[in-house]
Structure 1
């Protein structure tokens, strides 16, 4: 019997969007430098993690401490970064503002019981997949139920009225919920939460909000009369069905290492 394919939870959505791009990056190991906006998002994640972990453990952390983590992640990245979409100074200024907005508008309303939880690999032998990943946040709802949360940054992450863009995140949130249940050995019945932070360059364009995805595992696991997305992912991997999707919004040289030679673009 062939060994299960190992797949990171954060990459599953890309497998469905364009299997050819997923194969190029995750099987063939061809990578592009991360964009400046992506690096800013990573820096914000690292800084807010410092804050939330300290609060969860009832220890003290200052905004200066969070800023130090942010600045180091932007100016001393541990990966190649293409800063053409935003420069480092703008990323730092925007990141500092969004850290404060996250802490004031979101973090204080959440009861986290887990921050950056590295889940044990979960093997689903029947479909030939091993899931891996780190769970951004596990929160406790007011009713006592547990759910997962994930910070998302971007130009459209949250609108001015506080509405968070949840579309497109369901698959990833479902996998994180599955991994969290495996890690905690209990059900997570609360909705998955997206903590949206809009990366506007000025205060007027910087928004924060919380969006929810009820029953995030439904589409993944399927039901008695239909296969779930994990089954379809297993079929793609098992049979090497790495077809391209030229209509993907990420079909460009900026996001795909195989773009220049991809036969599916013809």
Structure 2
């Protein structure tokens, strides 16, 4: 009998991992239940560095304290050159990573921040247990914003080679499960409706200024996709089935089916 097939056991799901579960359950199991790890890739570390730097800017502005670009640049530099974990720099060296990170940090602060009204930055939410599904939702919400109509919504920073197209369109496909969990957690934490569209702040990590695009994309009603209805169960119901029954099948066609990204790659029977 699979160790995870236990009707009384509650399995914790981080919001940031839900997309991984649907993309390749075998990879999700290796990382989230078996605690297997790969070294961070260079672009993952770059994304973390940018995230930490702009969070400093947004947080201090939110609480009314002064913040300088130099302070944020120093945080980015530290994250690139003194990471607290192993990083594989084979496809992007640290000098280039820092240059890209500084450019995108400035673009985020200049082009995105002035258009947003943040009411929460890096909001750590209490876990939410859905006993009927046997799962516990956890996560830290990047940003909670208020739109021009006074509605609250959640937003998340996404970096990557294809985060934003050259036409300025932000890639939102595949992010609905994570945004849905953040929306549910935000409503639980704030004890009020979170009804505005979820926003993705996309930052494309091109090596030159011409290839570095930033933009904002929106996902309407991500919580509905997550929760569903009695007639049409949502994504959480499907996630619960995979976990409860321990059906962690692999997906050899996943874009992340690679030894750099999957700690189960070497022993995975699904890619043979």
What is the TM-score when the length of structure 2 is the normalising length?
A: 0.96
Match of 1:126 in 2: 132
Distance between the aligned counterparts of 2:167 and 2:67, measured in 1? 30
Say yes or no: does 1:172 pair with 2:178. Answer: yes
1:112 aligns to 2:122 (yes or no)? no
Q: 1:189 aligns with which of 187, 195, 203?
A: 195
| 1:85 CA drift (Å) | 1.6
Quote how far apart the aligned CAs of 1:232 are. 1.0
Which segment is superposed worse, 1-10 or 108-117?
1-10
Whole-angstrom distance in 2 between the partners of 1:203 and 1:252: 29
Q: What SS does the aligned partner of 1:152 have?
A: strand
Task: Give, in angstroms, the shift of residue 183 of structure 1.
Answer: 0.8
Aligned: 1:153 with 2:159: yes
Select between 239-248 and 39-48 the one with higher mean Cα deviation. 239-248
Give the Å deviation of 1:156. 1.0
Q: 2-side partners of 1:182 and 1:3: how far apart?
A: 22
What is the CA RMSD across the aligned residues, in angstroms? 0.9
Deviation at 1:201, TM superposition (A): 1.0
* Counterpart Cα distance in 1 of 2:85 and 2:188: 31
State which of 225, 233, 252 in structure 1 corresponds to 2:239.
233
Per the alignment, residue 50 of structure 1 pairs with 56
Task: Indicate the residue corresponding to 1:41 in structure 2.
Answer: 47
Matches for 1:1-266 after TM superposition, within 5 Å: 2-266=8-272
Deviations 1:141-193 (A, max 9, x none): 01000000000011111123321111111111111111111111111110000
Task: Give 3-state SS (helix, strand or coil) of 2:185's partner.
Answer: helix
Alpha-carbon offset, residue 58 of structure 1: 1.6
State the Cα distance separating 1:83 from its structure 2 match.
0.6
Over residues 22-62 of structure 1, what are the superposed CA-to-partner deviations in whole Å (9 max), with x where a residue is unaligned?
11111111100010000000000000000001111121100
Give how far 1:88 is off: 0.6
What secondary structure is seen at the aligned counterpart in 2 of 1:7? strand
Report how many aligned residue pairs link the two structures. 266
CA distance in structure 1 between the aligned counterparts of 2:121 and 2:114, rounded to whole angstroms: 14
SS at match of 2:72: helix
Q: Give the drift of 1:2.
A: 2.0
Instruction: Kindly report structure 1 stretches of 4+ aligned residues shifted beyond 4 Å.
Output: none
Secondary structure of residue in 2 paired with 1:242: coil
TM-score scaled by length of structure 1: 0.98
Render the CA deviation track for 1:48-86: whole Å, top value 9, x for unaligned.
000001111121100000001000011010111101121
SS of alignment partner, residue 12 of structure 2: strand
Structure 2 CA distance for aligned equivalents of residues 137 and 160 of structure 1: 25
**DSSP-derived class of the 1:37 partner:** helix
Please state how far the C-alpha of 1:224 moved relative to its aligned partner: 2.8
User: Can you give the 5+ residue segments of structure 1 that lack an aligned partner in the other structure?
Assistant: none
